[in-house]
């Protein structure tokens, strides 16, 4: 394993950002290659600690010459977001200088060709970081972007072109649900990793061996040793299942038994009022149409000071907010519905 340091110059003299990159060489040039990154939204740490638990497993595989495909690992993908504190609170989702989400504005290339990328010396620091991350990952057969939600089940976003090819990955990782999406108008990292393959010959696209996903490892507070170990084991099983790492002790995964939900079935449930949320449901709960999901206490102690929110359709709760204060119009939760949502959103679900 080699460790190198990437350096992104800041937007003013005297400032620079650095992050480490780990690379394992594969023994077989024809084997699938992999790229893993965590904490693009810099405060989302379940993937960071999962990588920490995965590294000794890969080091052992390397020592035993069982790493077939090249692996690149970026455990802290966003040193800019990592450094952002605003009045003592960490702000890792949006770049404070531009208000742009760190997982939007990635270049969506027409083909998987690094020569089409913008010059890495152009743009602000956050844009240059994004270009560099695509440069590091482009062309890898497996690209995993490790995030987490507010509070939620472990689930994957997967582009429709990769389903059901990636059912083995979902099964190997042991996640609870898959959300399928089809269009990216905002330039997510996942979009930048899969959209370049949509209009190229099948011999280049090779969807049957490609795996690209945004991994949502539960919630922001689900950072602990037990989850880190089980998530690392899931990542390792994926790498073995796809032939990047050799390990005969790992069984072959094929079928995913969990729910697979099209993005347009997700009800985000904008809050009708600003106030304090009293949730009736938590991630994993099954709900029927008309079940109460939450009560918003907007005028405490007053007649009519509570507003109830009901399920518009049956389904299960995928995520909910971690904070209990809400403004009118902000989303209360993700209800993965059995049918298309009346409030179906295209592109990304959130800002």
Closer residue to Zn ion in complex, CB, 33/214: 214
307 near 278, Cβ under 8 Å? no
16-24, 143-151, 201-209, 281-289 -> range binding Zn ion (CB under 5 A): 143-151
Instruction: Give 130 or 147: the residue with its C-beta nearer to Zn ion.
Output: 147
- Secondary structure of the chain: what % helix, strand, coil (to 5)? 25, 30, 50
Closest approach, Cβ 186 to Zn ion, in A, equals 13
Map tokens 């389903």 to a residue. Answer: 163
Find the shortest distance in angstroms from Cβ 133 to Zn ion.
Answer: 14
Q: Determine if 147 is a binding residue for Zn ion (CB under 5 A).
A: yes
Helix (H) or strand (E) holding 308: strand 306-310
Which part of the chain contacts Zn ion (CB under 5 A), choosing from 41-49, 134-142, 170-178, 220-228? 41-49
Is residue 334 at the binding interface for Zn ion, with CB under 5 A as the rule?
Answer: no
Give the 3-state secondary structure of residue 95. coil
Interface with Zn ion, residue 210, by CB under 5 A: no
Q: 16: exposed, middle or buried (C-beta count within 10 Å: 0-12, 13-18, 19+)?
A: exposed
Helices 225-241 and 46-63 cross at an angle (nearest 10°) of: 50
Which of 94, 256 has the CB closer to Zn ion? 94
Which listed range, 44-52, 129-137, 162-170, 271-279, lies at the site for Zn ion (CB under 5 A)? 44-52
User: Nearer Cβ to Zn ion, position 188 or 341?
Assistant: 188
- Which of the stretches 40-48, 134-142, 272-280, 299-307 binds Zn ion when contact is defined by CB under 5 A? 40-48
User: Could you tell me the smallest distance in angstroms from the CB atom of residue 88 to Zn ion?
Assistant: 21
Q: Which stretch binds Zn ion (CB under 5 A): 13-21, 34-42, 157-165, 323-331?
A: 34-42
Q: Which lies closer to Zn ion via its Cβ, residue 147 or residue 210?
A: 147
Binding residues with Zn ion: total (CB under 5 A): 3
* Sequence-distant (≥ 6) Cβ neighbours of residue 80 within 8 angstroms: 8, 17, 42, 95, 102, 125, 126, 129
Q: In Å, how far from its chain's centre is CA 8? A: 23
- Choosing from 41, 95, 104, 298, the residue that interacts with Zn ion (CB under 5 A) is 41
86-116 CB burial, b ≥16 within 10 A, e <16: eeeeeebbbbeeeebbbbbbbbbbeebeeee
The pairing of strands 292-297 and 142-149 is unpaired
Residue 295 and residue 320 in contact, taking contact as beta carbons nearer than 8 Å: no
Residues 76-115 that bind Zn ion (CB under 5 A): none
Using alpha carbons, select from 71, 2, 50, 74 the residue that is nearest to residue 243: 71
Nearer to Zn ion, 147 or 242 (CB): 147
Taking the least distance from each CB to Zn ion, the nearer of 149 and 168 is: 149
Interface with Zn ion by CB under 5 A: which residues? 41, 44, 147
């Amino acid at each position: 394993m080699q460790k190198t340091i990437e350096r992104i110059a800041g937007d003013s003299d005297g400032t620079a950002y650095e992050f480490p990159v780990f690379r394992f060489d594969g023994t077989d040039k024809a084997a699938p290659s992999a790229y893993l990154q965590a904490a693009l939204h810099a405060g989302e740490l379940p993937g960071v600690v999962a990588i920490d638990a995965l590294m000794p497993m890969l080091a052992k595989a390397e020592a035993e010459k069982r790493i077939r495909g090249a692996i690149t690992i970026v455990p802290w993908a966003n040193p800019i977001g990592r450094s952002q504190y605003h009045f003592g609170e960490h702000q890792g989702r949006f770049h404070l200088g531009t208000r742009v989400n760190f997982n939007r504005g990635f270049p969506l290339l027409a083909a998987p060709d690094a020569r089409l990328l913008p010059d890495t010396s152009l743009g602000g620091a956050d844009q240059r970081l994004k270009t560099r991350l695509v440069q590091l990952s482009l062309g890898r057969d497996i690209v995993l972007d490790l995030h987490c939600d507010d509070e939620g089940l472990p689930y994957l976003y997967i582009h429709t072109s990769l389903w059901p090819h990636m059912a083995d990955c979902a099964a190997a990782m042991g996640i609870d649900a898959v959300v399928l999406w089809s269009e990216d108008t905002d330039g997510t990292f996942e979009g930048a990793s899969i959209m370049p393959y949509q209009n190229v010959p099948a011999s280049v696209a090779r969807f049957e061996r490609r795996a690209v996903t945004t991994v949502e490892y539960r919630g922001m507070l689900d950072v602990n040793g037990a989850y880190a170990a089980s998530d690392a084991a899931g990542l390792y099983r994926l790498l073995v299942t796809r032939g990047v790492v050799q390990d005969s002790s790992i069984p072959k995964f094929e079928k995913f038994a969990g729910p697979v939900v099209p993005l347009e079935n997700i009800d985000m449930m904008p809050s009708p009022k600003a106030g304090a949320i009293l949730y009736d449901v938590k991630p994993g709960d099954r709900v029927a149409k008309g079940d109460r999901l939450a009560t918003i206490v907007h005028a405490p102690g007053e007649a009519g000071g509570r507003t109830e929110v009901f399920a518009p359709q049956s389904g299960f709760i995928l995520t909910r907010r971690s904070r209990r204060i809400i403004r009118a119009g902000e989303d209360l939760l993700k209800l993965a519905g059995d049918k298309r949502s009346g409030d179906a959103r295209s592109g990304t679900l959130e800002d």
